[in-house]
Amino acid sequence: MSTEADAIADPVAATGDATRAHATLDGFLGGVGPRAFRFAEAGLRHREDAMDAVQEAMMKMLAYRDRPADEWTPLFWSILRSRIIDVQRRRTFRLGWLGNAGPGGEDASLDWADEGAGPARTHDGREAYGRLVAALRELPRRQREAFTLRVLEEFDVADTARIMKCSEGSVKTHLSRARASLQRQLEDFA
């Protein structure tokens, strides 16, 4: 642990520590990027919005580079979740402002899904992935978040509760309901 006197005595060593911390944060962000994108895409249903949300969350993480590395994971996912909610609220406001009916009277709120294939859909199980994503989209937001963070991202209950800003009991309830709903929706898929 370096002190202020050490930094004055050896400024090169002090900047080396900062550079190593920055490189470590870069490594963390690089590793979490693809998973964060899948999480954002499932929540926002639009590739470009998902990429923007992940990029903005990563930019905000730069302000926390001096925090201990064990705090980065829940902090990053909390930031990303907040960003996704902000985008969803903005969409809801815009739809309310513009009216829900699009040209021809169809419901414009249903036109947010990106028709293009995403990077995760290129793997061999495209149909299974598509079904899972469609089933996840049918879930209420909190259930979708709990399932994605606990099952797909493999966070423990405590970290998931911190990310979702709720109690561990709420995480378990949301997860249980999500699993039951997904089982009903996907039981015909073999």
At 189, give phi and psi (nearest 5°).
-80, 125
Do 20 and 85 share a domain, yes or no?
yes
Q: Is residue 146 part of a domain?
A: yes
Q: How far apart, in whole angstroms, are the C-alpha atoms of residue 19 and residue 95?
A: 45
pTM: 0.52
Considering its fold, how many domains does the chain have in total?
A: 2
User: Does residue 68 belong to any structural domain of this protein?
Assistant: yes
pLDDT tens, position by position, 123-162: 446 677 778 888 888 999 999 999 989 988 889 999 999 9
Higher pLDDT, 18 or 97: 97
Distance spanning both ends of the chain, measured CA to CA: 56
* Residue 91 confidence class, pLDDT cut points 50, 70, 90: confident
